[in-house]
Amino acid sequence: MAKLNRIKVVLAERDLNNKWLAEQVGKDPATVSTWVTNTTQPILEALIAIANVLDVTVQDLVRQEEFN
């Protein structure tokens, strides 16, 4: 499966965890876990909220390489 988002990387860079992110964006920790592991992808509104909370752009969270 292609890794479509970099949420896990950004959280690790900032020494933050899934539970913290879940609290910040008002989602269940299990939901955030599926995003972080790339099992599912957040909807656009959630991705925007995550970017705002982490103080990054949506583009910083989305995989930049071409899909093969």
For the chain of 68 residues, list the mean pLDDT of each consecutive stretch of 10. 83 96 97 94 96 96 66
For position 2, what pLDDT does the model report? Answer: 65
**Residue 5 bridge partners (DSSP):** 62
65: which DSSP letter?
Answer: S
CA–centroid distance for 8 within its chain: 6
Residue 65 confidence (pLDDT) = 61
DSSP code of residue 2: -
For every residue of 36-47, DSSP letters joined together read HTTSS---HHHH
pTM for this predicted structure: 0.86
